[in-house]
Structures are given as C-alpha cells and as structure tokens.
Amino acid sequence: MGKSKGSIESEISKALTKWEKDFLGRGSVSVKTDILRDMIIVSLHGILTPAEYALCESKEGMLSVKRSRTSLVESGADDLKEMIFEITGEKVKSFHTDLSTRTGERIIVFKLFNDLEKQLTG
C-alpha cells in the first residue's frame, strides 16, 4: 500500500468531513480518526446545531435529535463503507455509530474483516 497509518487516518478524516458537508449539508467542527487493530474509530466534534442543542433540553427532543441524526448517517452508510474501501483497500464488516446530545460528539466505528493496523505496522 505504501501509505503510513497517520496519512490514512488523515485521509479518512478529510473524506468524512467532505461527505458530511455533501450529504448532510454541514460538517463537524473537528474530526479525529484512529486505526486500531481491525477497527477504524472516528470521533466527530461539534456536529449539533444550536437549535438541536435547544431541543435536547427535553427528553423527547433529545430522543428526536438522536433518532433523526442516526437515521441520516445510517442512510449514507453504504457511501461511507465505499469511502473506507477506496482509502484502505479493506472491506467493512460492520458499521456502528452513536451521538452524545450532551457534548455534540459522534463516534463512528468501522469494523473491518482484517487487521489494518497490523498491515500498516507489520
């Protein structure tokens, strides 16, 4: 492959930010990607709008924001899996995501079929 672990992590962060802007209409404030064994863990900060934070003050509003944001991201899961494959050459086995309505942070975990970290360091 020839790319370093750090350069792949950076490329995934940039691609995910572009996907957010193109698909969701706005991007997060910051994105950090880490490759750990057979997982790619992406942490996105600052994804909620001020209106969404206001909605999150009630339990019903918080659940509504979580549901709608999760549905939006999961509707683009195939695009995200393809993006990971194009950057790493590895197929995604499963995709997991959760959102903190308190901190405005989203975590995305791509579980791969193979240990990408070992390939990059071994």
Q: How many residues does the chain have?
A: 122
Using pLDDT thresholds of 50, 70 and 90, give the confidence band for residue 2: confident
- Look at the pTM and tell me if it is higher than 0.85: yes
Sequence-distant (≥ 6) Cβ neighbours of residue 63 within 8 angstroms: none
3-state helix, strand, coil in the chain (%, to 5): 50, 25, 25
Q: Tell me which long-range contacts 56-61 makes (C-beta under 8 A, separation of at least 24).
A: 56/101, 56/102
Q: What is the pLDDT of residues 35-76, one digit of tens each?
A: 999 999 999 999 999 999 999 999 999 999 999 999 999 999
Q: What is the pLDDT of residues 84-121, one digit of tens each?
A: 999 999 999 999 999 999 999 999 999 999 999 999 98
